[in-house]
Amino acid sequence: MKEAKAITLALALGAILALTGCQKEASKETPPAAHELQEVPVVSVTKNTLYRIDELPGEIQAYQDVAVYPKVPGFIDWIGVDRGSVVKKGQLLCRLIAPELKAQQSEFLAKSKAVQNELQEARSRLAAAKATLLEAKALLAADSDTYRRTKEASLVPGVVAPNEVIVLEQKVESDKEKVNAWQENVHAAENAVSSLVDALDAARKNSENYKDIADYLNVRAPFDGYVTERNMHVGSFVGPLGKSAYPPIVRVQELGLLRIVTPVPEANAGGILPGAPVQFTVSTHPGTKFVGTVARLGNALEQKTRTMPVELNYLNPGWKVLPGMFCRVLWPTRRPNPSLFVPPGAVETKSTLSTFVCRIKDNRVEWVKVERGEMMQGLTEVFGNLREGDLVAQDCTDALKPGAQVKPILVESGMKPAVKRPVYDSHDTIYTTPDAERIEMKKTRVNPGQEIQDSEKHDQ
């Protein structure tokens, strides 16, 4: 019985040992679920040139806008335009009267005539002085010849009395003094004539200046335009700007050419090209897109808004767009060079450490610091130590620790199809005058004054 019990115990121990060995082998062949690799959806980094259309606010201004003031103060005697009048350059707008100017002009005319009369008298005195000088010179010559002959005759004793020679000598000296005196009189008369001539010229110029000032009483249009404001009427007293704060007589604006002023954000300021066609819309004409051209750059950013004012030129032949309207500018944003793009979720921005993407390289996670740029077609522009074709986690979080081994699963990036947009057409032209701008705009292939209806499917 004891032997049977021992055999039974030995068999039980052997079974237990055999079962334990099988469990160890099974554990070696099948790893536990805790060691399985984490599957991570990844997308490929793409390279593209940023190009999109941003809607920016804009302000419409007249190309030229002038408040018309007179050059001299006066009363309005006649005014021939009113709000809504179309005027041409040089057209007479109103006529003033200024009694003070007329009186001053008459005074200068009188002074000019008085100086002219004095000049005639001075010239007469000069002529008389010259004639007297000639007589004095003739008398001196005659007396000198008589004195010479008498002195020669006095050398013969008894022919001429010595006293007569002395008298003739004194007479010659007197004649010389008279000649010198009349020469001084002639010089003085010549100087007087010269001074009066200068005074007459000055008086005539002053009189002519007042004639020009009298022409200031006629107020004319500075350019072809449209009268948008009238503040004065017949009998109103008006004056130049800055004196007693007189309001302008009228305001003239040029409506055939407009300025579209829009603030471009700092991030988009680097891609602005002069001559580029840009569309804009106004609420007055819904469904219509107007096309202007980039003409002037502010080249300085506003400190408060970090935007740069940019002006578009728009030819406005039908006057459909008016100054003061609020518009929406469809601003094309474009990078000069291609950049990298990833889905928005691939950029981790909630971490307090930095902004990064989780790059998967050799099935291991790497944190790569990046800077976010603009959005385009549902993707985010990034700048950092990345290359086109790199695999990054579609949903990047700080839970994906650097160095962790994962199993990447490639998925689509979700990029939307590109939309055809107008292409920049730069002419590299620096305009110096408004006329040069108008001529150049008429030569461009894209008519700045054209209108695009949405029904034409321009963007398709």
Q: From CA 367, how far away is CA 187, in angstroms rounded?
A: 104
Residue carrying structure tokens 């920049």: 424
Residue 446: per-residue pLDDT: 46
Most confident of 180-194, 428-442, 443-457: 180-194
CB-based contacts of 329: which residues, under 8 Å, 6+ apart? 55, 56, 57, 58, 260, 262, 278, 279, 280, 312
pLDDT band at 159 (very low <50, low <70, confident <90, very high): low
Contact indicator for 414, 378 with CB cutoff of 8 Å: yes
* Residue in 269, 313, 322 with CA at minimum distance from that of residue 291: 313
Q: DSSP letters of 166-220?
A: HHHHHHHHHHHHHHHHHHHHHHHHHHHHHHHHHHHHHHHHHHHHHHHHHHTTEEE
Q: DSSP letters of 298-329?
A: --S--TTT-EEEEEEEEE-TT--S-TT-EEEE
pLDDT tens digits for range 5-57? 555 555 555 555 555 554 444 444 444 444 578 889 999 999 988 888 888 99
Degrees, nearest 5: CA angle 241-243-249: 45
CB-based contacts of 96: which residues, under 8 Å, 6+ apart? 70, 72, 74, 75, 76, 77, 217, 218, 219, 238
pLDDT band at 180 (very low <50, low <70, confident <90, very high): confident
pLDDT tens digits for range 353-394? 688 999 999 999 999 999 988 888 889 899 999 999 999 999
Contact indicator for 252, 223 with CB cutoff of 8 Å: yes
H or E element that contains 28:
helix 2-29
Q: From CA 254, how far away is CA 62, in angstroms rounded?
A: 6
Q: C-alpha dihedral over 381, 384, 388, 393, to 10 degrees?
A: -80
Residue carrying structure tokens 């005196």: 181
Residue 197 predicted with pLDDT over 60: yes
Average pLDDT over residues 105-124: 77
Residue 281: per-residue pLDDT: 93
Q: Rounded to 5 degrees, what are φ and ψ at 44?
A: -90, 140
Residue 331 predicted with pLDDT over 80: yes
Residue 289 predicted with pLDDT over 50: yes
Q: Rounded to 5 degrees, what are φ and ψ at 220?
A: -120, 160
Residue 352: per-residue pLDDT: 64
Q: From CA 202, how far away is CA 191, in angstroms rounded?
A: 17
Distances (CA, A) of 333 to 106, 109, 264: 67, 68, 10
- Global pTM? 0.57
Residue 258: per-residue pLDDT: 95
**In a 10 Å sphere around its CB, with 0-12 CB exposed, 13-18 middle and 19+ buried, how is residue 54 labelled?**
middle
In three-state secondary structure terms, 389 is: coil
Q: From CA 400, how far away is CA 285, in angstroms rounded?
A: 53
In three-state secondary structure terms, 354 is: coil
Q: Rounded to 5 degrees, what are φ and ψ at 403?
A: 90, -10
pLDDT tens digits for range 200-227? 787 777 666 666 677 888 999 999 999 9
In three-state secondary structure terms, 103 is: helix
pLDDT tens digits for range 47-92? 988 888 888 999 999 999 999 999 888 899 999 999 999 999 999 9
* Residue in 369, 373, 375, 374 with CA at minimum distance from that of residue 392: 369
pLDDT tens digits for range 167-176? 777 887 887 8
Q: Which residue type is seen at 429? A: T
Which ranges of 223-354 does DSSP label H, i.e. alpha helix? none
Average pLDDT over residues 438-446: 52
By residue count, the chain amounts to: 460
Contact indicator for 50, 381 with CB cutoff of 8 Å: yes
Residue 241: per-residue pLDDT: 73
